[in-house]
């Protein structure tokens, strides 16, 4: 099973309504926003994974290589991308994220989604798009 | 102020019948057939006033490890809820191939508010 979680940020609706009132296609703007954020999220996940590396540890790089980010997708009014890690041969990503019977958790996925950096990035890109389309933030 | 670790262990200590527990990683040897390991996850300050932190949201991962499967487990939820924790995400973990334990990880959040 891949490691997967949901990141949702409240408070963007008002911005999107402003864009709609300004005549912009909200779905296209949301897709533009997410396409800017997706690679950032992928890099943040990789950075947080590598931050768990202890001195002297040798890694195969399999978990890092299995990080995936999808294209922006739409389901009705819901726009999203998927950030995930394909299962490794021995579920290393789950062992690291949640721990084992003898090993504490070294969370990297949850802190990527819950930390402030990703939220700040979304807000910053949103403001850029508002400026681009002539809507005051 | 009581630390989050003390609060967690006080809660786990109320489970009846008692279950072995410790801060992760569980260091007992040999490992019990069933035990609980708890761990503080990164937990952010939520509010400040006058340059002082006044609220923090702690997130604790409590993992039940059991060699006999996950059908019959100690009532960690009740113990943690009674201590003021709120249940969050639950995740079944792969069986530990070295020890034979199955794992169930549950997150509990705890809001600490301090006014001084």
Q: What is the pLDDT of residues B57-110, one digit of tens each?
A: 999 999 999 999 999 999 999 999 999 999 999 999 999 999 999 999 999 999
Taking the CB of residue A28, how many other CB atoms lie within 10 A of it?
11
CA separation (Å) from A117 to A18, A40, A44, A50, A136?
Answer: 25, 10, 8, 16, 23
Q: Give CA–CA dist B13/B7, Å, rounded.
A: 10
The pLDDT assigned to B41 comes to 96
The pLDDT assigned to A89 comes to 82
Preferred mutation among B45, B66, B94, B99 to probe A, highest tally of A CBs within 10 A: B94
Taking the CB of residue A47, how many other CB atoms lie within 10 A of it?
12
The pLDDT assigned to A47 comes to 96
A6 pLDDT above the threshold of 90: no
- Three-class SS state of B63: strand
- Which residues in A lie closer than 8 A to residue B25 (C-beta atoms)? 99, 102-104
Preferred mutation among A5, A87, A102, A118 to probe B, highest tally of B CBs within 10 A: A102
Pick the range with the lowest mean pLDDT from A1-15, A94-108, B31-45, B99-113: A1-15
B37–A116: do the CB atoms touch at under 8 Å? no
B26–A116: do the CB atoms touch at under 8 Å? no
Residue % of chain A over a pLDDT of 90: 61
CA dihedral B25, B30, B36, B41 (to 10 degrees): 10
**Residue pLDDT, tens place only, B17-35:** 999 999 999 988 899 999 9
The pLDDT assigned to B116 comes to 64
A105 touches B at CB < 8 Å: yes
A105–B39: do the CB atoms touch at under 8 Å? yes
The pLDDT assigned to A116 comes to 87
Q: Give CA–CA dist A83/A76, Å, rounded.
A: 20
Q: Give CA–CA dist B112/B54, Å, rounded.
A: 8
Indicate the pLDDT class of residue A1, thresholds 50, 70 and 90. Answer: low
Pick the range with the lowest mean pLDDT from A75-79, A124-128, B2-6, B108-112: A75-79
A111 touches B at CB < 8 Å: yes
Which run of H or E residues covers position A16? helix A13-21
pTM: 0.88
CA of B68 vs chain A CAs: smallest distance (Å): 14
CA of A105 vs chain B CAs: smallest distance (Å): 8
Q: Are B28 and B22 in contact (CB under 8 A)?
A: yes
The pLDDT assigned to A78 comes to 85
A17 pLDDT above the threshold of 90: no
Q: Smallest Cβ distance to A101: which of B31, B39, B41?
A: B31
A134 pLDDT above the threshold of 90: no
Indicate the pLDDT class of residue A15, thresholds 50, 70 and 90. Answer: confident
Q: Is the ipTM of this complex over 0.90?
A: yes
Q: Give CA–CA dist B5/B23, Å, rounded.
A: 8
Q: Give CA–CA dist A22/A96, Å, rounded.
A: 46
**Residue pLDDT, tens place only, A104-120:** 999 999 999 988 899 99
CA separation (Å) from A86 to A66, A110, A122?
Answer: 5, 16, 25
β-pairing, A78-80 vs A83-85, is unpaired
A103–B25: do the CB atoms touch at under 8 Å? yes
A99–B105: do the CB atoms touch at under 8 Å? yes
Please give, one letter per residue, the 3-state secondary structure of A30-95. Answer: HHHHHHHHHHHHHHHHHHHHHHCCCCCCCCCCHHHHCEEECCCEEECCEEECCEEECCCCCCHHHH
Q: Are A101 and B103 in contact (CB under 8 A)?
A: yes
First to last CA, chain B: 12
CA of A48 vs chain B CAs: smallest distance (Å): 12
A2 touches B at CB < 8 Å: no
The closest alpha carbon to B102, from B21, B10, B4, B33, belongs to: B33
Residue of A nearest to B91 (CA): A98
């Amino acid at each position: 099973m891949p490691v997967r979680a949901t990141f949702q940020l409240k408070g963007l609706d008002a911005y999107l309504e402003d864009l709609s009132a300004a005549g912009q296609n909200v779905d296209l703007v949301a897709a533009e926003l997410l396409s800017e954020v997706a690679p950032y999220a992928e890099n943040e996940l990789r950075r947080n994974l590598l931050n768990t590396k202890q001195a002297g540890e040798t890694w195969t790089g399999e978990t890092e290589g299995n990080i995936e980010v999808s294209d922006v997708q739409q389901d009705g009014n819901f726009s999203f991308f998927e950030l995930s890690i394909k299962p490794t041969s021995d579920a290393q990503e789950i062992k690291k994220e949640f721990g084992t019977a003898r090993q504490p958790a070294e969370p990297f996925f949850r802190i990527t989604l819950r930390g402030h950096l990703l939220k700040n990035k979304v807000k910053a890109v949103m403001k850029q798009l508002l400026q681009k389309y002539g809507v005051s933030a | 102020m009581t630390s989050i670790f003390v609060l967690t262990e006080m809660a786990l200590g109320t489970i009846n019948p008692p279950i072995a527990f410790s801060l992760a990683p569980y260091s007992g040897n040999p490992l019990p057939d069933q035990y609980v390991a708890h761990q503080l996850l990164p937990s952010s300050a939520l509010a400040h006033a006058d340059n002082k932190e006044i609220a923090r949201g702690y997130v604790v991962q409590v993992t039940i490890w059991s060699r006999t499967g996950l059908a019959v487990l100690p009532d960690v939820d009740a113990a943690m809820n009674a201590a003021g924790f709120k249940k969050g995400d639950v995740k079944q973990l792969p069986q530990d191939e070295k020890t034979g334990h199955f794992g169930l990880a549950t997150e509990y959040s705890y809001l600490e508010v301090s006014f001084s």
